[in-house]
Structure 1
Amino acid sequence: IGFIGGGLIFVRRDAVRGLTTAAVVWLTCAVGMAAGAGLWLLAVVVTAAHFLVVFAFTPLVARLPRSRYTQSRLRLTYLDGKGALRRVLAICTGRGFLVAELTMERHRDGHDPHVVSIWLVLQGSGEVQGLLTELVEVEGVRTVSSAEIEGSVP
């Protein structure tokens, strides 16, 4: 059982994935062994506690304030030559975010040659939705999207 659960844990760069899945596999095995040993009450209580944690704590965690180490990844497309990147970076830092990484890609495959796509990795505890709303209003910015990066707390 340990090998099955342990085989679900993957480490990529500094992010650990599959730890929760492995824990659920081990929990399922423990519940099965308890039920098989005739400890039905223990198996039912542990199963109920598991569902309480999974379904009740998830909305609670979503309401907690973000860690200052939490990273978010933004993708922006903007028109080059209008100062949009300068304003975007100023807004991000003005809202308390640290720009941890910036990747730029200029479109040269038949699209408008003045359109640039960038990926920003931001670190901070600010509100990302408010940041997105402000970035969409920047002159020259065409699109903005975001995703929180899992496993970003050191």
Structure 2
Amino acid sequence: MGLEPSGQGWLQVAEFGIAFVLSSLIGLEREIRQKAAGLRTYTVVGVGAALFTLVSKYGFSDVLHSGTVSVDPSRVAAQIVSGLGFIGAGVIFVQRGSVQGLTTAATIWLTAAVGSAAAAGLPLLAALATASYFLVSYGVRPLAHRLAALRSVPAGFRITCLQRPRLLHDLLEQCEHAGFDVAELRTVSADGTTTEVVVSVLGRGDLGGLTVRFAEVPGVVACRRERPADE
């Protein structure tokens, strides 16, 4: 079976095979991570996109006649992108105010692009896109975690204390010594003897240590950290 005018030759088989292998590699990585879509889903998406592209390139040779019928292969590629929107929407959901599944949807979209590129006779670009995916997954992910760890995280404290002069000044001083910036400091209630103060801080210091510092300030009766809703 050599190269045939019908488009069913070894070249097309090789393009389809490249799409299969690269799509399977992405799917295997997602399967190992136990994501919602795994090896079968990504492989099917990749080879499906490849088949549509091959059909668009070679599947209408028997009806093509010079000057009467013309075929634009790019139209099928555009419809592949549109059709994947339904699959992507199916894996995206919102849970407790956070969006889940965006990476899965984007990876499915990328896998289809890899399959299309392989079938379109662009194996180098298909391989480069696959390599880029693994670079992002295993190279950029640790860097993203490190950046997140360096990001200033707001934290709040609710402090009950006896009323006395310079109390707020002492609380601010403890924040400074612990390496935190004060974002907010306000009194929420007072009953003539005790005062309840809310302190919001920003920084990368030891929040537990700051809690101890607040508790050791003279006049502080109680101190507790107010945890964000997403913790």
Q: TM-score range by the shorter chain?
A: 0.5 to 0.7
Q: Quick one: which amino acid aligns to residue 174 of structure 2? A: I
In structure 1, what is the equivalent of residue 8 of structure 2?
Answer: none
1:43-100 Cα offsets, whole Å, 9 max, x none, are xxxxxxxxxxxxxxxxxx7xx9943511111111111124322111101012110000
Amino acid at match of 1:70: V
Unpaired runs of 5+ residues, structure 2, are 1-86, 109-144
1:67/1:124 contact within 8 Å kept: no
Q: CA RMSD in A?
A: 3.6
Matched, 1:145 2:224: yes
Look up the match of 1:135: 214
Distance in 2, matches of 1:150 and 1:2, equals 28
Change (3 A) 1:94 1:81: same
CA pair 127-65 structure 1, distance change in 2 beyond 3 A: farther
Greater strand proportion: 1
Q: In the alignment, what sits opposite 1:18?
A: 98
Amino acid at match of 2:154: Q
| Structure 1 runs, 4 residues or longer, greater than 4 Å off | 1-7
1:26-47 Cα distance to aligned partner (Å, 9 max, x none): 78xx9xxxxxxxxxxxxxxxxx
TM-score, length of structure 1 as denominator length: 0.54
- 2:185 corresponding residue in structure 1: 102
- Normalising by the residue count of structure 2, what TM-score does the alignment of the two structures yield? 0.38
The percentage of counterpart residues that share the same residue type is 24
In 2, Cα distance between equivalents of 1:91 and 1:83: 13
Higher helix share: 2
Q: Which amino acid letter does the alignment assign opposite residue 75 of structure 1?
A: R
Distance 2:161 2:216 in 1: 12
1:132: how far off?
A: 0.9
1:91 and 2:174 correspond: yes
**Counterpart AA for 2:213:** E
| AA of the residue aligned to 2:195 | V
Higher RCO, Cα 8 Å, sep 6+: 1
| Residues in 2 aligned to 1:142 and 1:84: alpha-carbon distance in whole angstroms | 12
Q: Which runs of 5+ in 1 are unaligned?
A: 11-16, 31-60
Amino acid at match of 1:128: L
| Total equivalences in the alignment | 107
Match of 1:124 in 2: 203
